[in-house]
A and B are shown apart, each in its own frame.
Chain A
Amino acid sequence: MYSGGKIAVNEVEAVMTKRVTTLIGRNGAGKTSLLRMLSTQLLPTSGTATIEGLDIIREAAKVRKIISSIPQEASPIGILTPYEQVKMYLIGRKFTNSDASRYAIDALEKVGLGEAINSPADTLSGGMKRKMFVALAIASDAQVVFLDEPTTGLDPLSRFEVWSAIKKLRSNVLLTTHYMEEAENLSQEVFLMDLGRIIDHGTVKSLLSRFSDRVRIESGKPMSESYSVGGMHIKYAPIDESERYIKDGATVKRITLDDLFIMRGVDLES
């Protein structure tokens, strides 16, 4: 709960054990607050959690030794190079000077920043800046990495590059996103959040398999039992009814995590 009384995260009970776990939800769903609590940046008003058996409240100092957390919209220090910033971070994590240099160069090359390693961060594109932070997490070799919306605001190509970098992480990863495609692409387990609560979870496959016999119908005209989203009408129907809707001028699409989100009762108009 924030000082103004706003409850950001409430009654969350979850066990996250997969290599890449994703928290998905709309803006304000509580993803960032939950991630900041788990990464010891924000003190919860009540409740607790453990990471690798360490309590995030009582053993925060020990937790900080095994985690690395990349904040949402983090930006590099413009005047310094990616190499300097990654190395500086690793020195802060008590790497030796030579290890910090080596790990920094390795990680920056892994994410495709080898040629920009000594360019001031001000000269990097948005995608390259995000990749620098992913490199920072890779280089840290932390057991658990938290990535808060690592691709927000990036063009599709940059997003693919960041995904590729994330896949190179050896750590267990908890990332937040509101891009369902990102969750499908990267994670073994997905937790859906809305209004500070976990509303569903499972592997991407298991979540989608529940709706394997259905399709998504999109139309400009109202349909019975449809959801209205920004002037568009969305409905879920059995696959064998697709032909009928196509004849009416509607578009038929396969079910994605986006649809799961809508079907779980999230009021998108609000």
Chain B
Amino acid sequence: MNPKFILHFSFYYGIKAIMRGPSYIIASLVTPLTLLFVVYILTAGKLVEFAVVGGMISLIASIGLQSAGDATFFRLQLRIQELYVASEVTPIDYMLAMTLSFLAFSIPGIIVYSLLGAYYGLYTIQTSAFMAFLIFMLILSTSAISFIISGLIKHVRNVWGITAILSIVMTVIPPTFYPYVDLQGRLGTNGLIYFLSLSPATPAAISAQMFFGLMPWNSTMFTTMIIFLLGETVVYFAIAKFLTRWREV
């Protein structure tokens, strides 16, 4: 692994890109902030804390998923991926470098949601640390999904529609903006929860709702969700490495 490359790439393509093209940040914040507003109005403020915690999760996951556009664009249009294939850069270096860049894109959103969380008194040292862990795992897992999508796409124009759909399906339908218990009793006791856990946003949101004290503590559910999140991050990354078309056949 080449950490220096990963950091340089993410500095240039993450931090510098934000400074030169801030419109992307506003675009990425629009959906979660709109949903936060809708939740606030529809529930008369009752579920706003869910939406503040879930909004952060939704933001990170949607940025990770939408990064499939960049990954595909780099591979098919700019041919930047090919440039790196014929060098010492490994697929893992490249994927982590892109992933960390996307995390950099999320920084302004993280700041906004952190300020909102602080306003609602949601953040302590423990909850902040746990949220940092969730952000890290989410960006890894959703970026891996984006590489899987990117590896399967043959024409750049197809990727924008697919990521827009996936971004909604995988970050808004999961219990990011509402209590996870609303899903219990559908498809068996926890069937729908497990089904929706295909999206890393689901285990992240459920564990966050418990850790932040928004829902009663349930050790079994919490542990299951953390195992889900860790497991699918590893699995999605392994699949992405296989499908990323590093050396085409």
Bound complex: CA of A70 vs CA of B78, how far in Å? 11
Q: Mark B1-22, 1 if CB is under 8 A from A, else 0.
A: 0101100110011001100110
Query: B93 at the A/B interface (Cβ < 8 Å)?
Result: yes
What are 14 A-B pairs at a CB distance below 8 A?
Answer: A36-B82, A39-B85, A42-B247, A43-B248, A64-B87, A69-B85, A71-B83, A77-B74, A84-B12, A84-B16, A92-B9, A92-B87, A92-B89, A146-B86
| Number of chain A residues close to chain B: CB under 8 A | 38
Least CB distance from B3 to A in Å reads 10
| B-chain residues with CB within 8 Å of residue A94 when the two chains form the complex | 2, 5, 88
Q: A74-B83, A77-B74 are in contact. List 19 more A-B contacts (CB 8 A).
A: A3-B249, A39-B85, A41-B85, A41-B86, A41-B248, A42-B247, A43-B247, A43-B248, A64-B86, A69-B85, A71-B83, A74-B82, A76-B78, A80-B13, A91-B2, A91-B9, A94-B2, A136-B83, A146-B86
How many angstroms between the C-alpha atoms of A72 and B16 in the bound complex?
27
Give CA–CA (A136, B86) in the complex, Å: 13
- Inter-chain contact A65/B88, CB cutoff 8 Å: yes
Closest chain-A Cβ to B19's Cβ sits at a distance in Å of 10
Partner of A89, one of B4, B78, B87: B87
Contact with B along A1-40 (1 / 0, CB 8 A): 0010000000000000000000000000000000010011
A79/B247 contact (C-beta < 8 A), A69-B82, A92-B2 known: no
A-side contacts of B2, CB under 8 Å: 91-92, 94
Closest Cβ–Cβ distance, residue B155 to chain A (whole Å): 15
B38 in the interface (beta carbon within 8 A): no
Using known A-B contacts A40-B247, A43-B248, determine if residue A79 contacts B82 with beta carbons closer than 8 Å: no
Bound-state CA distance A43–B246 (Å) is 10
> In the assembly, what is the distance between CA of A88 and CA of B57, in Å?
30
B77 CB–A CB distance under 8 Å: yes
Residues of B contacting A146 with CB < 8 Å? Answer: 86
A79 / chain B contacts, CB cutoff of 8 Å: 16-17, 20-21
Residues of chain A within 8 A of B86, CB atoms compared: 39-41, 64, 67-69, 146
Chain B CB within 8 A of A49 CB: no
User: Are B88 and A69 in contact, CB atoms less than 8 angstroms apart?
Assistant: no
By a CB distance below 8 angstroms, the chain A residues around B83 are 69-71, 74, 89, 136
Among B8, B80, B87, contact of A77 (Cβ-Cβ < 8 Å): B80
Q: Are A77 and B78 in contact (CB under 8 A)?
A: yes
Counting residue pairs across A and B whose Cβ atoms lie within 8 Å, the total is 96
Within 8 A of A (CB), among B1-48: 2, 4-5, 8-9, 12-13, 16-17, 20-21
Q: Which residues of the other chain, B, contact A91 by a CB distance below 8 angstroms?
A: 2, 4-5, 8-9
Residues of the A chain whose Cβ atoms lie less than 8 Å from the Cβ of B17: 79-80
Closest A residue by C-beta to B20:
A79
The interface residues of chain B lying within 8 Å CB-to-CB of A42 are 247-249
Find residues 67-108 in chain B having any chain A CB closer than 8 Å to their own CB.
74, 77-80, 82-89, 93
**Could you tell me which B residues sit within 8 Å of A by CB distance?**
2, 4-5, 8-9, 12-13, 16-17, 20-21, 74, 77-80, 82-89, 93, 247-249
What are the residues of chain A within 8 A of B16 when measuring CB–CB? 79-80, 84
Nearest-neighbour CB distance to chain B for A206, whole angstroms, equals 31
Known pairs A41-B82, A43-B247; A88 contacts B88 (CB<8 A): no
Whether A92 pairs with B13 at a CB distance below 8 angstroms is no
What distance in Å separates the Cβ of B187 from its nearest Cβ neighbour in chain A? 38
Point out the residues of chain A lying under 8 angstroms from B8, CB to CB.
87-88, 91
- CB nearest to A146 among chain B residues: B86
CA distance A41 to B80 in the complex (A): 12
Residues of chain B with a CB closer than 8 A to A3's CB: 249
Interface positions, chain A 136-174, Cβ under 8 Å from B, are 136, 140, 146
Binary per-residue interface labels of chain A (78-99) against chain B in the complex, 1 for a CB within 8 Å, 0 otherwise: 0110001101110111100100
A126 at the interface (CB under 8 A from B): no
Task: Among A42, A85, A88, A94, find the residue whose CB has the most chain B CB atoms closer than 10 A.
Answer: A88
A92 and B78: CB pair below 8 A? Answer: no
Q: A77-B13, A80-B13 are in contact. Are A40 and B88 (CB under 8 A)?
A: no
Q: How distant is B121 from chain A, measured CB to nearest CB, in Å?
A: 39
Residues of A contacting B85 with CB < 8 Å? 39-41, 64, 69
Complex: how many Å from CA A184 to CA B28? 51
Q: Which B-chain residue is minimally distant from A120 (CB atoms)?
A: B20
Q: Is A213 an interface residue (CB 8 A)?
A: no
Q: Which residue from A75, A84, A93 sits with its C-beta under 8 Å from B88?
A: A93
Within the complex, the shortest CB–CB distance from A190 to chain B, in Å, comes to: 23
Q: Specify which chain B residues have a CB less than 8 angstroms from the CB of A74 in the assembled complex.
A: 78-80, 82-83
Task: Give A28 to B44 CA distance when docked, in angstroms.
Answer: 64
Q: From residue B115, how far is it (CB to closest CB) to chain A in Å? A: 27
